[in-house]
Structure 1
């Protein structure tokens, strides 16, 4: 069956208003909305650990960190996403109450159902954000953090962190032992250390 796109298209403004009242979160992709699934204990724990560490690091700084419920607008491609964590250091973002447009750092905790999308199309969309300096993917299955960092030429370079490494995020001058991100997570690598 073929659907007329105009029957289901909603404007970004309508999406933002509906999202304020919605009991579940939706991502917005070029006029269409997609419900988001709930997250696992591991996913939520890693996200929370990351938030606490980054929030502590940024305390007293002009940068702001947001977790899970703050949207990122990718205006160039007409998208709104809910990253697991985002940091903005741009004063222009203070005017937006329900979304941010100028993040320097975005973190996604992977899941089996979203990993391909997070690595592929979503990352391609995020790369349209001129202010984005780092995109971080965190594995919930093993101690592994991948940081894609934009270099001076605009290329995205992968920095990979594994067991016993220290994670370094240059966008906010953040350092922490990788195990701190996985605190209270039940993984074989953690149980055996």
Structure 2
């Protein structure tokens, strides 16, 4: 995915633009509405400090999520008119409501089949 003059590769890309789906080579998405990064100790700083400022400049982007590998936690950045709203969703029974996309993201589903070191 190209953000300005940079090409970045998030872990999960969701597009709401049918034009993105016409690219059958699957090389890039121009208009993502949801980007998800699975963070670890080694990638957390890069995903938050380096990639996030570029991602949030994309006019089509509605959500940027950081999914923890350490505990049941998803950090949600949601586009608001003039700013980005930040929310932390924690606990295996929690649900991240992505209302702009009409998606409810259950952490139980996100972490299904995954055993965390803290367990």
Q: How does 1:11-22 map to 2 (within 5 A)?
A: none
Residue 67 of structure 2 contacts residue 73 of structure 2 at CA under 8 Å; is this kept in 1?
A: yes
TM-score, scaled relative to structure 2: 0.88
- Partner in structure 2 of residue 151 of structure 1: 80
More strand by share: 2
Q: Which runs of 5+ in 1 are unaligned?
A: 1-71
**1:172 offset after TM fit, Å?**
2.2
- Cα distance, 1:95 vs. partner? 3.9
Cα shift readout 1:124-155 (whole Å, capped 9, x = no counterpart): 111121100100000000000011001022x0
What secondary structure sits across from 1:135 in the alignment? strand
**Which has the larger Rg?**
1
Larger helix fraction of residues: 1
Q: Which string of whole-angstrom CA distances, capped at 9 and with x for unpartnered residues, describes residues 44-82 of structure 1?
A: xxxxxxxxxxxxxxxxxxxxxxxxxxxx111x2x11111
Please report how far the alpha carbon of residue 168 of structure 1 lies from its aligned counterpart in structure 2 after TM superposition.
Answer: 1.3
- Spell out, residue by residue over 1:73-99, the C-alpha distance to the aligned partner (whole angstroms, 9 max, x if none): 11x2x1111111111011231343310
The count of residues paired between Structure 1 and Structure 2 equals: 116
Match of 1:111 among 16, 20, 40: 40
> Runs of 5+ in structure 2 lacking a partner?
none
Post-superposition offset of 1:171 = 3.6
Q: Aligned pair in 2 of structure 1 residues 188, 91: CA closer, same or farther (>3 Å)?
A: same
Partner-residue secondary structure (3-state), 2:101: coil
Q: Match for residue 54 of structure 2? A: 125
1:188 Cα offset (Å)? 5.8
